Amino acid sequence: MKAVSLIVQFVIFFIIGLGFFLVVGNVFSFQSDVIKQDILDTGLDTSINQLSAASVRVVDSCKACDNVTIKIDQKSIAGYYPVYQLLNGIILKITPENKTLQNSVHNLNYSVNFTGPDAGASKTIDLTYDRTKNNLVIE
């Protein structure tokens, strides 16, 4: 009878230990997901604001020039490379997380035409402003 009690006690402690291990593992996994989401949100805001500021700098820089181009080096955000699009402002998309963020480029969308294909952040982004056509292009 003493051996049965010892085996039952061992099984109970094993179940408690396994349950504790699973709970702690899930807590750390959840915390990791929350931190990754915070980094992604902050990175999206920072990246779109940087591109917005660069757009204002391109439009406002050389008043006597016909074309102004600025190169912007972008990095990955939480392991993802965003895709930028100029359409009534800047639209930033991250496909795996299904995130989309839009910025009005400090209300330049009312005075400047935005054109250009989608530009991925895995390479250098060129912002070109054509003063004669009042056109801002992302390449």
Top pLDDT among 23 and 75 is at 23
The pLDDT tens digits for 82-124 are: 888 888 788 888 888 788 888 888 788 778 888 878 887 778 8
> pTM of the prediction?
0.75
Q: Is the pLDDT of residue 73 over 80?
A: yes
The pLDDT tens digits for 5-35 are: 889 999 999 999 999 999 999 999 999 999 9
**Residue 10 pLDDT:** 93
**Residue 91 pLDDT:** 85
CA distance to 14, 32, 57, 82, per residue, from 20 (Å): 10, 18, 55, 39
What's the CA dihedral at 110, 114, 119, 125 to 10 degrees? -80
Top pLDDT among 55 and 96 is at 55
Which of 58, 125, 131 has its CA nearest to residue 92? 125
Confidence grade of residue 42 (pLDDT, cut at 50, 70, 90):
very high
List strands edge to edge, sheet with 90-94. 99-103, 90-94, 83-86, 119-120
Rounded to an integer, what distance in angstroms lies between the CA atom of residue 15 and that of residue 47? 47
> What is the domain partition of the chain in residue ranges?
2-138
**Residue 25 pLDDT:** 96
DSSP class of residue 77 equals B
Top pLDDT among 97 and 38 is at 38
Q: CA quadruple 30, 36, 38, 44: dihedral positive or negative?
A: negative
CA distance to 22, 118, 119, 138, per residue, from 83 (Å): 38, 6, 6, 11
**Tokens of residue 44, six digits:** 């999206």
Q: Is the pLDDT of residue 76 over 80?
A: yes
